[in-house]
A and B are shown apart, each in its own frame.
Chain A
Amino acid sequence: MEREKLNRFHIALMVFNTQSGAVLFTLPRLTAHDFGTNGWLMILPMFVLVTLNIMLISAVYRMGRGQSIFDILSASLPRFLLIPLYVLLWGLFSMIGCLVIKQYALIYQMLIFPATSDLILKIFVDVLVVLYITKGIYTMSKANVIFSLLLLLQIPLIVLFVHEFDLSRFTPFWLKEGADMYEGLNNLYGAFLGYELCLFLFPYAEKNKKWLKYIHLGNGITMFVYLLVSIMAYGFFGHHALVHSSFPILDMYAYLRFPFIERIQNFLFSLFLFSIVQTAGMYYWAGQEALAQVFPQIPWKVIVFVSMVATILVGMIPKTLIVVESWSSYFTFVQIGVAFGLPLLLIVLLLMQRRLKKHA
Chain B
Amino acid sequence: MLRRFLLAAVLILVLTGCSRDQRILERVGYIETAAFDAAPENKIKATVSIPLVSQYARDGKTTDELLSTIASSPKQAREALSLRTSRIIASGQIRTFLIGEELARRGFWSYLDTFLRDPSISIRTSMVVVEGDAGKIISQEYPRHTKTANYINKLLQKEYSIQSLPRTSLYEFTRDYFDDGEDPIAALVLEKEKDITISGIALMRDDRMIAKLPWEDVYLFMLLYSNLQEGEFTLTTEHPDLKAISVKAVKSKRRIVITKNTSGDYEANIYLKIYGSVDEYIGNAKLSTSERAKVEKLVSEHIVSEALRVIKTMQRHRTDGIGLGKYVRNSMSYDEWKKTDWHEMFSQLPVKVHCSFYIKQFGSYFD
Q: Is A110 an interface residue (CB 8 A)?
A: yes
Within 8 A of A (CB), among B311-353: 323, 326-327, 329-330, 334, 337
- Residues on B facing A (Cβ under 8 Å): 11, 14, 17-18, 20-21, 92, 116, 119, 122-124, 171, 174-175, 177-181, 323, 326-327, 329-330, 334, 337
Complex CA gap A166/B334 in Å reads: 20
Given A172-B330, A238-B178, A240-B178, decide whether A254 and B21 contact each other with a Cβ distance below 8 A: no
A113 touches B18 (CB 8 A): yes
A113 touches B329 (CB 8 A): no
- CB-defined contacts of A164 to chain B, threshold 8 Å: 171
Q: Is A241 an interface residue (CB 8 A)?
A: yes
Contact for A171 among B174, B175, B177, B330, CB less than 8 A: B330
Q: Is A224 an interface residue (CB 8 A)?
A: no
Decide if the interface of chain B is mainly helix, strand, loop or mixed. Answer: helix
B17 touches A116 (CB 8 A): yes
Indicate with 1 or 0, residue by residue over A248-261, a CB within 8 angstroms of chain B CB atoms. Answer: 00110011010000
A168 touches B17 (CB 8 A): no
Given A169-B326, A241-B174, A241-B178, decide whether A114 and B21 contact each other with a Cβ distance below 8 A: yes
- CB-defined contacts of A238 to chain B, threshold 8 Å: 175, 178-179
Given A168-B330, A255-B123, decide whether A120 and B180 contact each other with a Cβ distance below 8 A: no
B178 touches A124 (CB 8 A): no
Contact for B14 among A124, A166, A168, CB less than 8 A: A124
Query: Shortest Cβ distance from A33 into chain B, in angstroms?
Result: 13
- CB-defined contacts of B18 to chain A, threshold 8 Å: 113, 116, 120
Q: Is A65 an interface residue (CB 8 A)?
A: no
Q: Is A115 an interface residue (CB 8 A)?
A: yes
A120 touches B327 (CB 8 A): no
A–B complex contacts, Cβ < 8 Å, 12 sampled:
A111-B119, A114-B21, A120-B14, A166-B326, A171-B329, A173-B337, A176-B334, A237-B178, A241-B174, A251-B171, A262-B122, A263-B92
Within 8 A of B (CB), among A254-290: 254-255, 257, 262-263
Q: Is A112 an interface residue (CB 8 A)?
A: yes
- Residues on A facing B (Cβ under 8 Å): 110-117, 120, 123-124, 127, 164, 166, 168-169, 171-173, 176, 236-238, 240-241, 243-244, 250-251, 254-255, 257, 262-263
Query: Shortest Cβ distance from B32 into chain A, in angstroms?
Result: 14
Complex CA gap A251/B170 in Å reads: 11
B123 touches A254 (CB 8 A): yes
- CB-defined contacts of B174 to chain A, threshold 8 Å: 241, 244
Complex CA gap A89/B177 in Å reads: 47
- CB-defined contacts of B124 to chain A, threshold 8 Å: 254-255, 257
A263 touches B330 (CB 8 A): no
The 3 closest A-B pairs by CB, nearest first: A240-B178, A241-B178, A120-B17
Complex CA gap A110/B118 in Å reads: 9
Q: Nearest residue in A to B327 (C-beta to C-beta)?
A: A168
Complex CA gap A123/B7 in Å reads: 13
- CB-defined contacts of B175 to chain A, threshold 8 Å: 236-238, 241
B327 touches A263 (CB 8 A): no
Given A171-B330, A173-B334, 10 further pairs, Cβ under 8 A = A113-B21, A117-B17, A123-B14, A164-B171, A168-B327, A176-B334, A238-B175, A241-B177, A244-B174, A263-B92
B21 touches A115 (CB 8 A): yes
Complex CA gap A241/B176 in Å reads: 8
Contact for A112 among B20, B21, B122, B334, CB less than 8 A: B21
Complex CA gap A200/B11 in Å reads: 33
Complex CA gap A254/B92 in Å reads: 12
Query: Shortest Cβ distance from A109 into chain B, in angstroms?
Result: 9
Complex CA gap A80/B103 in Å reads: 72
Complex CA gap A117/B119 in Å reads: 18
Complex CA gap A200/B18 in Å reads: 38
Q: Nearest residue in B to A241 (C-beta to C-beta)?
A: B178
Complex CA gap A176/B178 in Å reads: 16
Complex CA gap A124/B10 in Å reads: 11
Q: Nearest residue in A to B13 (C-beta to C-beta)?
A: A120
Query: Shortest Cβ distance from B97 into chain A, in angstroms?
Result: 16
Query: Shortest Cβ distance from A303 into chain B, in angstroms?
Result: 18
Complex CA gap A110/B120 in Å reads: 10
Query: Shortest Cβ distance from A123 into chain B, in angstroms?
Result: 6
A255 touches B330 (CB 8 A): no
B14 touches A263 (CB 8 A): no
Query: Shortest Cβ distance from B165 into chain A, in angstroms?
Result: 16
- CB-defined contacts of A251 to chain B, threshold 8 Å: 123, 171
Query: Shortest Cβ distance from A4 into chain B, in angstroms?
Result: 26
Query: Shortest Cβ distance from A163 into chain B, in angstroms?
Result: 9
Complex CA gap A236/B123 in Å reads: 13
- CB-defined contacts of A263 to chain B, threshold 8 Å: 92, 122
Complex CA gap A250/B118 in Å reads: 13
B171 touches A255 (CB 8 A): yes
Complex CA gap A237/B20 in Å reads: 35
Contact for B179 among A112, A123, A169, A176, CB less than 8 A: A169
- CB-defined contacts of B323 to chain A, threshold 8 Å: 168
Query: Shortest Cβ distance from B27 into chain A, in angstroms?
Result: 15
- CB-defined contacts of A262 to chain B, threshold 8 Å: 122
- CB-defined contacts of A236 to chain B, threshold 8 Å: 175
Query: Shortest Cβ distance from B183 into chain A, in angstroms?
Result: 13
Q: Nearest residue in A to B10 (C-beta to C-beta)?
A: A127
Query: Shortest Cβ distance from B159 into chain A, in angstroms?
Result: 17
- CB-defined contacts of A244 to chain B, threshold 8 Å: 116, 174, 178
Q: Nearest residue in B to A265 (C-beta to C-beta)?
A: B119
Complex CA gap A310/B329 in Å reads: 54
- CB-defined contacts of B330 to chain A, threshold 8 Å: 168, 171-172
Given A116-B20, A120-B18, decide whether A168 and B326 contact each other with a Cβ distance below 8 A: yes
Complex CA gap A17/B180 in Å reads: 37
Query: Shortest Cβ distance from B167 into chain A, in angstroms?
Result: 9
B14 touches A240 (CB 8 A): no
- CB-defined contacts of B334 to chain A, threshold 8 Å: 173, 176
Q: Nearest residue in A to B11 (C-beta to C-beta)?
A: A127
Query: Shortest Cβ distance from B366 into chain A, in angstroms?
Result: 36
- CB-defined contacts of B116 to chain A, threshold 8 Å: 244
- CB-defined contacts of B11 to chain A, threshold 8 Å: 127
Among A171, A176, A251, the one with the most B-chain Cβ atoms within 10 Å of its Cβ is A171
B21 touches A116 (CB 8 A): yes
- CB-defined contacts of A124 to chain B, threshold 8 Å: 14
Q: Nearest residue in B to A262 (C-beta to C-beta)?
A: B122
Q: Nearest residue in B to A174 (C-beta to C-beta)?
A: B334
- CB-defined contacts of A171 to chain B, threshold 8 Å: 329-330
